Structure formats: structure tokens, C-alpha cells
Structure 1
Amino acid sequence: MALFEVSESQPFLLIYFKVLHAGSTNKNAFKTLIAAEYSGVQVELVKNFEMGVSNKTPEFLKMNPIGKVPVLETPDGPIFESNTIARYVTRLKADNPLYGSSLIEYARIEQWIDFATLEIDANILRWFIPRIGFAVYLPPAEEAAIAALKRALTALNTHLSSSTYLVGHSLTLADIILTCNLTLGFSRLLTKTFTSEFPHVERYFWTMVNQPNFRKILGELKQTESVPPVQKPSQQKEPAKPKEPAVPKAKEEPKKETKKEPAKPKAEEAGEAEEAPKPKPKNPLDLLAPSKMILDEWKRLYSNTKTNFREVAIKGFWEMYDPEGYSLWFCDYKYNDENTVSFVTLNKVGGFLQRMDLARKYAFGKMLVIGSGPPFKVKGLWLFRGQEVPQFVIDECYDMELYEWKKVDITDEEQKERVSQMIEDHEPFEGEPLLDAKCFNALSVTPVVACDDSLDHALQFIVFQLVLY
């Protein structure tokens, strides 16, 4: 029996038209359209969809209040989020082979869908989006994205060295979603020089996109010959405004003297509420006595030190450190026995660092994933303003309760040396190899409007960037 089955008494579900709201070149719409081709489900792509216009209408916002695409209109109501839409369309067909033939195959399909989203799509977009001007370009952030993408492609290449498909011996929804995520990379970012390091991924991608159902939706794809140059946000072209019909000129009348209206307050010009917003209360950490340690100076030293790290960065840290204005904390993950899959563990840590962005003005952190095999241990070191873990961080970041926290006693030389080793990613650490080391060294980035669901789980068109080393 299928995990999600449509009974024979409800065949109308398969023939009802579903309307997909998205642009004709949207890779996230391709997931649903290709899944529909394989499943025999009729999905109509809405005509003349214009990003930034169509998705801001009251009708569209009723279907998705935050205006992202794609959205699928069904007889039972709208659905948004591209992977969810593709799953829905696939499950409309009973016993659909796109969802495997057993519970374990279903689980593995979901596993690879997550991998395609969090490891492939997220890192392609972290590399690509700043280059086309939708976020501030930061070379260290790009280096981190490329390194993370290469690590993911290496794992994928190894898997595909002995497999034609991601799961089992036939195409599944995981293959559709992964291939659609790779189309942006191959067509806009990943040159032949780059992808030649991953021959099994190359073979897989070109095999997939040349299948008739893929080709019908994607057309003919060509691999990019170059990485796009960095484009500043100010260089982005604004969407062309529709021309207004010419209005016949009225006869000239004698000019009337008009009284100048007093200048409107900025809040009114911006269409905000009539009452000016009340100033936000100050963060308690801003009310502490000034510290001799300038956090940004330490972050710059950490980021810019490429050689002699112990002599330059570590020595500089202890010279800057102010034990009266800041405190150091060790954290240990409470549930290490659950860390049995490497990329899931890494994603868990990455998500924690993203959610810590609210503390970027007051914190610096290192997170280590330790071990050559499962279960992996997760340990961290955090520098916080003040003498306690900030209460607003405890209240807002649910990950905090997943860790045991211990304040560092810097008069203890062993603890002090442990701090130094964690900052410099010393390996082996406590006798074990490092699987990965991540740094919370958050840099503010110009916010942009996100209208696509590509980065739901990771980086929504990069509202902010975390430099992860």
C-alpha cells in the first residue's frame, strides 16, 4: 500500500487542473511541473506572471501572505513551499514510484530531498546571490559557501559512483528536486573546470536533464562558461514600470496661489502608522560599563589572520580580553547519541549559528563537530558581553537549552588552553579528529526582499550572512 494513497473512488483529484503561480524560468516551479509529468497530474502554469507585481496583489497574498513563489492553487485551497507542492502532486497518484516502494525508500527519498535543499541549493545561492547584487558581496562568505558546496558535491559524487539514482533503481522525487536545484548552478555558476572534479555528479545531471519529461519542462540546458562578475546592489535594474496612457492636456488656467503645506514627517511619507513608533527599549547589555575590549576589533583580527594563528590571533585575543566586561562559556550538546549522520549534525550546528544572529553585536562563538565516525560530539566556546549568558538569547534561541553551559575560569591554565585550542581549531581536539569547525563571526548585510522559497531552511536570499570557517 502507498504511504499516501488516493482511493479509486476519488479519481477526480487526478484530473482537476491545478494552477501553479510562478515565473516560467523558476527552478522551484520546475520541481512540480516535472513531478506532474511523471505522475500524470495536470498542472497549469499561470500565464504572464511577473515577479514583484503578480505576487504582490491582494489575491496572491491571500494564498501566501509573505508573497513568495511558487504557490499551487488546488480545489482544496492553496499550497506554498516548492518541495511541499512537489510532494503533494506526487502523492496524488496512488502507489507512485516517485515515492519508492517501502518505508525505508520513502525515508531515504526524504533524506536526499533535505540534502538537496540544505547542502546543495543553500550553498549555490550563498555563492550566487551576492554576485548578482541581491546581497553585499563578502569574499570570506563566498569562500565558505564554495567550500561547503564542494564538500556536499564530494559526498554526492561518492554516492553516485555506484548508483544511477539517489534511491533504489529508478527515478524518484529526490532526483527531480536535486536536479532542479543543480540547474541554477550548472547554467549560471558552475563551470566545466569546477564540475570536472565531480564526474559522477556531471554524468548524473546530464542524464537527468535529457530525460524526455525533464527536457519538456527545462528545454535545452547549456553549462555556463564563466562565473558571473560581482554586481553591486546599486547596479540592479529596477523592473520597468508599465507605460501610462497619454492624458490630453487640459487648457491652461491662471495659476492660483496655494499655501505651502508643512513638510510631512518621514513616517507619514513612508506610509507608516499615524502615530510615530515608540523607541525600542535599550538592550541591557548596552547599559553595561564600557569595556576595554572592542569586539569588532577581535573579529577582524580573527578573520584576517591567515598564518601564525597561535602567535598572532590567539595572543591578540588574550591581550584584548576583558574579564570584567566579557565572559567565556563552554557548551556541550546534551544529545550527542543522536548525532549519527554527519550532514544532519552539521546542519543542526549551522542552524544554531543562524539563530544566534540576534546576538551578533554581543557575541563571538566557535562550534566544533568532533569524531571520525558517529555518534559525533558537538562542543562550543562562546564569548558574551557581560558576566552571564544574555537572557534575551536564552529567551529567543531555543537551541540554548539543548546544551550544557559552563563558565570558563581563566585563572585555570587548563581551561585557558582549551579556549585557545577551540579558537584555533586545534586538531586533534581532546584526542579526537575534527569533522568540522564553524565560527560565529556574524557580519551585518543589507536586507533585501525575498520573494522565492529557495532558502527557507537556510538563507532567505541572504538577509544576513554568517562567515563560517
Structure 2
Amino acid sequence: MALVLHAGSTNKNAYKTLIAAEYTGVKVALAPNFEMGVSNKTPEFLKMNPIGKVPVLETPDGPIFESNAIARYVTRLKADNPLYGLSPIDYAHIEQWIDFGSLEIDANIGGWLRPRMGRAVYLPPAEEAVISALKRALGALNTHLASNTYLVGHCVTLADIVMACNLFMGFTKLMTKSFTSEFPHVERYFWTMVNQPNFKKVLGEVKQTDSVPAVQSAKKPAHPKEAAKPKAKEEPKKEAKKEPAKPKTNFREVAIKGFWEMYDPEGYSLWFCDYKYNDENTVSFVTLNKVGGFLQRMDLARKYAFGKMLVIGANPPYKVKGLWLFRGQEIPEFVMQECYDMELYEWTKVDLSDENQKERVNQMIEDQEPFEGEPLLDAKCFK
């Protein structure tokens, strides 16, 4: 019986086995007419892998699932295969990097890609967390590759095959040149691997993505239609009286107009604040927590101030800007002294004779989006 791999022809987890087979000299055939979502739900497939995941390898001794296990099996079909190193410590290091590639690289690339492809719920804080974890992993890999051409030893091993295949989705779907340029040794390593003859037989020409895919809506599972119930004899319907539509409240005409009517320019002053270190705001939930902490520490000024804080931007670094109303013509001295966050912001008194500044106040009060050409990540109010 030939070795038959059940998976789509573009499945990056199937690539691991197919590339290992090229190096090992083992014939592995892809199952003909495999259709994801159909072939892997048949009773025959579920006998090979009860949870229906791919790839699955059919062998004379029975099926194997999990891509790394399949690649290991194919590699071991050749005695003393150099893909497994030349010593026990080589073997251990190969296993080490296989685990690292799966747990630190592949898991985070998948956590970034799946929500954007509509296969999971998209949450910006969760995305920022997996990108941060991925960068940490790529940084560690970059350090190792600064003095190593391959992960283990001086030639391609199974660790390189698994690592390159795990990086494949990142380079081709998510990680643009501007992203990967931070990790030059990883870049060099990836392009070296995918241009090896045995890799190229399986992968073909590989091109790096030019952009991160836009977020797609998560797909909802289809609900089976209920059987049609016999219709009861209908009675003539009485025509319902239509109520007149209620007019929508115009926020500007009511709330903002009311604000300016009540505003006392002699007893109060308005201030814009801009965070001085926006380039540090690379993780959304950390930025939101930073603003939340600032508002908590401003509790001492509750009788003297009203504030509106905006976190702006679809992608990092996020901008933090605010509008504050203080009692008096200057920011109270005790606030400047007691709340250390104040010195982290640039404070500018609003010039009410400037219509542009006055309009900016209106936009900040009503959470206008886009604000200054960018979407709002969040808006927090202090009152």
C-alpha cells in the first residue's frame, strides 16, 4: 500500500510531510479529489481521525494524524536519516525547535490570521496580544539565527522543514516586509529554506504579502430549517394603526448646544491634552489600561473637573488625546502636583475665539468618528 496523504494541495501542514518525503526519498501521494469540508467529514475519514482534522496519512500499518507526527514518521522510514541529526543532542535540539515552531510561531500566526479570515471572533486586544507574543518569538529565533544558517548543525533538518512551513502562512498572508524587516536573520533564513530545491518542488515560487488582510465577519453556523407546520385557518386581520415615527434626537442640537449655553468662560476653562509618548502605545489593551489608570488617579479633582479621553487609531501606535474642563482659568495646582500622569501630557488651553478649536471641542464631546481622519478605538469620560 502506498502512503496517501489526505489534505488539500495548499495545506501548509501537509507541506511538512511532502518536503520531508523529498529529502528522505519516500513516495507520498496526495489523496485524489480531496475537498476540505467534504472529504474530511465522511465516515471513512472519521475512522482515521475522529475529529476530522487534516492532514491524515494512510500507511500499511494504519492511519496517522497530527502533522508533526506524520513528518516524523516519514523521516524515520530512512535509517540514519540526516534530517534527524547526527547525535542524541542533535535529535534533542531538533525536537526542541519543532516544539518552538509549533507553540510559539505557528500558534500565534494562527491566532492572528483566523479572526481576520472570519474563522474566529475578532477582538483588537486579543490580536495585539498574539502579535506581541509572535514578535517575542521571532526575536528569539532571530537571535539564534544571527550565528546559525540552520536551526541545528550545518544542513537542513526536520526542524527547518517544520519551522519554514510554520513561517509560510505568516510571510505569505500576514507579515509584510515592514513587519519582518525587524527580524533580518529570520528573513534570510526563510528565503534560504523556501528556495532549497526540495522545498521548491512542493512550495513553488513563494511571494511575501504586501498587506495584512482586512477583517472578515465571523461565519455563523447555518441553522437547520424547521419543518413547516400546517397552517391554522386564518382570521381576517385587523389593520394595525401606524404610529408616527419618533424624531431622532440630534446630539449637536441638544447636548452640545446645551453645553455651550451653560458654559461659563469666566469661571471655567477648557484644555486639550495630548499624550507625549504615543509611539509607546503599541498594544491596545495596555493603552486603554493606561488611560483608565489616569482617570482613576484624577478622582481627587472630581469636584473641579470634567474630562473626555479618546484613544485613536485602527493600528498601533495608538494616539491618546483628551479634552478637560477645569474650574478656574488655570489647571488647579494641586492636580498638577498630586496626579503624576499630568506631566505625561502636553496641555493646551482652548482658544474659544478660534472656530476650529471650538469645533474640535464639539467633536471630542460627541465622540465623532473618524476623529481627525482616524477611527476611535475607545472613548472614556470623567465626570
Smaller-chain TM-score bracket: 0.5 to 0.7
Aligned-partner residue type, residue 309 of structure 1: G
TM-aligned CA distance change 1:143 to 1:214, over 3 Å: same
| Counterpart among 6, 23, 28 of residue 43 in structure 1 | 28
Q: Work out whether 1:141 is the aligned partner of 2:94.
A: no
TM-aligned CA distance change 1:310 to 1:23, over 3 Å: same
| Counterpart among 69, 94, 99 of residue 54 in structure 2 | 69
CA distance in 1, matches of 2:135, 2:163: 15
What is the match of residue 260 of structure 1? 230
Contact 2:4–2:29 under 8 Å retained in 1: yes
In the TM superposition, residue 309 of structure 1 has moved relative to its aligned partner by 3.2
Q: Work out whether 1:172 is the aligned partner of 2:157.
A: yes
| Counterpart among 141, 149, 153 of residue 156 in structure 1 | 141
TM-aligned CA distance change 1:310 to 1:62, over 3 Å: same
Q: Which has the higher contact order (CA 8 A, sep 6+)?
A: 1
Contact 1:90–1:96 under 8 Å retained in 2: yes
What is the match of residue 33 of structure 1? 18
What is the match of residue 289 of structure 2? 305
In the TM superposition, residue 235 of structure 1 has moved relative to its aligned partner by 8.9
Q: TM-score, normalised by structure 1?
A: 0.49
Aligned-partner residue type, residue 33 of structure 1: L
CA distance in 2, matches of 1:40, 1:104: 25
Q: Work out whether 1:222 is the aligned partner of 2:207.
A: yes
CA distance in 2, matches of 1:64, 1:311: 53
In the TM superposition, residue 311 of structure 1 has moved relative to its aligned partner by 7.1
What is the match of residue 124 of structure 1? 109
Aligned-partner residue type, residue 177 of structure 1: V
Q: 1:6-47, CA deviations, whole angstroms, 9 ceiling, x for partnerless residues?
A: xxxxxxxxxx52000000000000000000000011100111
CA distance in 2, matches of 1:259, 1:223: 55
In the TM superposition, residue 307 of structure 1 has moved relative to its aligned partner by 3.8
- Taking only aligned residues, the RMSD between alpha carbons, in angstroms, comes to 2.7
Q: 1:53-73, CA deviations, whole angstroms, 9 ceiling, x for partnerless residues?
A: 000000000000110000000
In the TM superposition, residue 233 of structure 1 has moved relative to its aligned partner by 1.3
CA distance in 2, matches of 1:186, 1:302: 27
CA distance in 1, matches of 2:18, 2:26: 9
In the TM superposition, residue 304 of structure 1 has moved relative to its aligned partner by 3.5
CA distance in 2, matches of 1:146, 1:305: 18
Q: Work out whether 1:190 is the aligned partner of 2:188.
A: no
Aligned-partner residue type, residue 155 of structure 2: S
Q: Work out whether 1:58 is the aligned partner of 2:43.
A: yes
Query: 4+ runs of 1 displaced by more than 4 Å?
Result: none
CA distance in 1, matches of 2:231, 2:287: 52
CA distance in 2, matches of 1:202, 1:119: 17
What is the match of residue 233 of structure 1? 218
Aligned-partner residue type, residue 197 of structure 1: E
Contact 1:109–1:173 under 8 Å retained in 2: yes
Q: TM-score, normalised by structure 2?
A: 0.60
Contact 1:127–1:142 under 8 Å retained in 2: yes
Q: Figure out how many residues of one structure are paired with residues of the other and give that number.
A: 244
Structure 1 unaligned blocks of 5 or more:
1-15, 239-257, 263-300, 316-469
Give the SS at the match of 1:119. Answer: helix
TM-aligned CA distance change 1:259 to 1:27, over 3 Å: closer
Q: 1:290-346, CA deviations, whole angstroms, 9 ceiling, x for partnerless residues?
A: xxxxxxxxxxx9983224738738x9xxxxxxxxxxxxxxxxxxxxxxxxxxxxxxx
Structure with higher Rg: it is 2
Aligned-partner residue type, residue 125 of structure 1: G
Contact 1:305–1:312 under 8 Å retained in 2: no
Give the SS at the match of 2:5. Answer: strand
CA distance in 1, matches of 2:32, 2:105: 30
Matches within 5 A, 1:305-384: 305-307=289-291, 309=293, 312=296
Give the SS at the match of 2:290. Answer: coil
Contact 1:22–1:71 under 8 Å retained in 2: yes
